[in-house]
Amino acid sequence: MIRLNLRLRRTFLIIWSLSLWAVFAIFPPAYQNYYPTPADRHSFLLGMQQNAGMVALWGPLEDPPTLGQIVMWEAGSMMIILGSVMSVLLFVGVHRRSEALGLTELQLSTGISRMAPAAAAFVTTVIAALIVGLGSAGVLWLSSLYVEEMPIGGAVSSGAVIALTMIGSTLLAHLVLLFVDNPASVTRIALLTVAGSFIARSVADSEEFGWLNWVSPLGWKTVVHPYVADDWRSIVLLALLCAGVGGLLLWAERYREYGRALVTLPTFTRTRARRIHGPVHLASVLHRGTVLAWAVVIAVLAAFIIALTGSLSGWMETEANVGQIFKDIFGEGDMKAEFIAYTAKLCGILVATYGIQVIVGHRAGELDRTVDLQRSTGLRRWVPLASVTAVSVGGVLLGTLAILGGGAVGLWTQESTTSVDYDNLVPAAWSQLAPALLLTAVAALLVGWVPRLTHLAWAPVVSAAVLTLFGPILSAPQWMIDLSPFEYPVSSTSGEWTTHLWMGLGAMALMGLGLLGSQRREIL
C-alpha cells in the first residue's frame, strides 16, 4: 500500500520536493550578499531581536547571528510551513479523502487490516518528510561549499527538524481529524491545524511561552536551534514523541468507523431545510465554510501581529544601523506605518489565496458533475462560474474587512497606539482588496477558458508572495518586485489609489472574460 501511495502521489511529491529545495537553495547566497560582514549580521540580529512582530512571524534570532541561523530563521520558517502544508495534503489525500472517495473500501476488500490504510498513509508521509528533510540538509550542505558560516552539523539538524516538523504537523492534523465527520471539510480542517500551529508558535516565541513550542510542530525549530545549538537531544526526544503519538493515533484508528469520526462532536441540527435562493445563494452555502474559516484566521493573524507594533516604539529610537535594516525590509518612511502595511500585505496574500481556492473549487464541481446538475436546470452556461466568482469576490471583501477588523483590535490592545496608527491601518487594509481581486480574477479567467490548467491559478499568487516577501532579500530588480500587485500599499501619507483602480478594473475585465469562456466552452 505504501508503494501504491507513493506511485499515486509521485507527481505531487516530485513537484513539491523540487520546488521546496529550489526555493531553499536561493537563500544562502542571497543572505550572504545582503549581509556580507559580521557587523551587518549583528545589526540585523539586534533589530530582529527587538521587533516582536518579526519574532512572531519567523521566530527568535540568537547570538551569534551566523548566516546558517539567518537562513533557517526566515527561509527555514517558510520551509517548515510549506513542508507542513505538503505533508498534511499528502496524508489527507491518501487517508481520509481516499476513504471519502471509496478507494480505501476497495483496498480493505482485499482482506488487509482495518488499520493498514492509516498506517500506510502515515508511513508514506514519513517517507516524504524524510526525503524533503534529507534533500534540505543536502541543499544546505552544498550551500556551505560557497557560503560561510554554514557548518554541516547545522545542515543535518536543519534537515532533521524540517522532517520532524512535517511529521508532527501530520500527526496534529490526524489527531484533529479523528473528531471530524464531514468528508467535505477534512482538507480544510487539516490545513487549519497548520494555521493553528503557526499561531501557537508565534505566541510561544513572542510571549516567551517556551513550552508551547513543544506542543506546536512549527515551534520545533525554535526548540532545536539549528546552526546555534543543534540540539540533538531535543531531536531524539521529538522523534520519540512522534513515534509515540503516531502509535497512539494508529491504535485509535482501530476504533474509528470507516469514513466517520472517532468521536462525533455534537452538531447543531436544523429542524427546517434551508431555502436556497438561486445559484449565488447555492454557491455561498457550499463555500461559506471555507470563506468564514479563512476570514477568522486572517482576523486573528492580523490582530496578533499588529498588536506587536506596540514594541516598535522602543526600538525605533535605537542605533541608526538597526533602523537601516528595517528600512531595507519595510522600505522608507514611518516604521510603524510600514510594519502595519507589511502585515496587511501578508494577510492580503492569504485573502487572495482563499479567493482563488473558491474559484478552483468550481473546477472540482465540474469534474464531479455537480455543475452538470446545475446546468440541467436550464441555467445559462456562465451562471455557475459567475455564482462562484461572486462568492469569491464577497469572500475577498470579507477577508479585507477581517484585516481591518483584526488589525483594529490589535491596535486597540496597545497603549502606545495613536489615532495615526488607525489612519494608517484603514488604507493599508483596503489596499489589499484590488490585488486580491486581481489574482482571483486570473483564476476565474483560467477556469473559464482553460480548465485543464486550473492548477496554474496558484502561480501568480505564489510568485507575488515570493516577490513581496523575499524580493529585496533575493536582490530581485525593483521592476520585478513591482510586478507583485501587493507592492502598492497605501497609508495616510504615502501611496495612491490610481493603481488600485486599474487593478480593480483589470480584475473585472478578467472575470468578465472568464465568464465569456465558460459560456463558450464545454465541460470535459
Partner 1 sequence: MKHPVIEVTGLTKKFGTFRALDNFTMSVEEGTIHGFLGPNGSGKSTTIRILLGVLHPTSGTARVLGKDPRRHPSILRRVGYIPGDVALWPTLTGREVFRALESLRGRPTDRDREEELIEAFKLDPDKKTRDYSTGNRRKVSLVAALSTGADVFILDEPTAGLDPLMEQVFVRELTRERDRGATVLLSSHIMSEVEKLCDHVTIIRDGRAAESGSVEKLRHLSAHEITARVSRETSALAALPGAEWRDDTFRITTARDEVPRILRLVLDAGGVDVTSTPASLEDMFLQHYGDES
Residues in contact with partner 1 by the rule CB under 8 A: 182-184, 273-279, 281-282, 285-286, 289, 368-370, 372-381, 522-524
Give whichever of 2 and 178 is closer to partner 1, judged by the CB atom.
Answer: 178
CA 3 to chain centre: 29
3 state SS of 256: coil
3 state SS of 75: helix
CB of 265 to partner 1, least distance (A): 15
Give whichever of 184 and 292 is closer to partner 1, judged by the CB atom.
Answer: 184
Give whichever of 145 and 524 is closer to partner 1, judged by the CB atom.
Answer: 524
Range list of β-strands (E), 130-223: none
CB of 286 to partner 1, least distance (A): 6
Q: What is the rounded distance in angstroms from the CA atom of residue 163 to the CA atom of residue 169?
A: 10
Give whichever of 49 and 519 is closer to partner 1, judged by the CB atom.
Answer: 519
Q: What is the rounded distance in angstroms from the CA atom of residue 293 to the CA atom of residue 465?
A: 21
For residue 217, say if its preceding peptide bond is cis, omega within 30 degrees of 0. no
Burial zone of 290 (CB within 10 Å; 0-12 exposed, 13-18 middle, 19+ buried):
buried
Which stretches within 207-277 are classed as H helix?
A: 210-215, 220-224, 232-253
3 state SS of 373: helix
CB of 394 to partner 1, least distance (A): 18
CB of 274 to partner 1, least distance (A): 5
Contact 273, 336 (CB under 8 A): no
Contact 44, 130 (CB under 8 A): no
Contact 157, 220 (CB under 8 A): no
Residue 113 has a CB neighbour count (10 Å cut-off) of 10
Give whichever of 114 and 380 is closer to partner 1, judged by the CB atom.
Answer: 380
CB of 168 to partner 1, least distance (A): 30
CB of 281 to partner 1, least distance (A): 7
Give whichever of 327 and 369 is closer to partner 1, judged by the CB atom.
Answer: 369
CA atoms within 13 A on the CB side of 470: 18
CA 400 to chain centre: 17
CB of 387 to partner 1, least distance (A): 10
CB of 521 to partner 1, least distance (A): 8
Give whichever of 53 and 451 is closer to partner 1, judged by the CB atom.
Answer: 451
Q: What is the rounded distance in angstroms from the CA atom of residue 383 to the CA atom of residue 287?
A: 16
Q: What is the rounded distance in angstroms from the CA atom of residue 326 to the CA atom of residue 50?
A: 11
Q: Residues for the chain: how many in total?
A: 524
CB of 372 to partner 1, least distance (A): 6
Contact 89, 81 (CB under 8 A): no
Q: What is the rounded distance in angstroms from the CA atom of residue 415 to the CA atom of residue 421?
A: 12
Give whichever of 277 and 455 is closer to partner 1, judged by the CB atom.
Answer: 277
CB of 401 to partner 1, least distance (A): 24
Cβ contacts of residue 231 below 8 Å, gap of 6+?
Answer: 157, 223, 224, 225
CB of 268 to partner 1, least distance (A): 13
Give whichever of 319 and 368 is closer to partner 1, judged by the CB atom.
Answer: 368
Residue recorded with cell 473559464: 448
CB of 185 to partner 1, least distance (A): 8
Give whichever of 101 and 509 is closer to partner 1, judged by the CB atom.
Answer: 101
Residue 140 to residues 28, 44, 151, 168, Cα–Cα distance (Å): 8, 21, 9, 22
Give whichever of 143 and 290 is closer to partner 1, judged by the CB atom.
Answer: 290
Give whichever of 30 and 190 is closer to partner 1, judged by the CB atom.
Answer: 190
Give whichever of 129 and 286 is closer to partner 1, judged by the CB atom.
Answer: 286
Q: What is the rounded distance in angstroms from the CA atom of residue 219 to the CA atom of residue 222?
A: 5
Q: What is the rounded distance in angstroms from the CA atom of residue 486 to the CA atom of residue 366?
A: 31
Cell of 351: 485573502
CB of 520 to partner 1, least distance (A): 9
Helices and strands in the chain, H and E counts: 24, 0
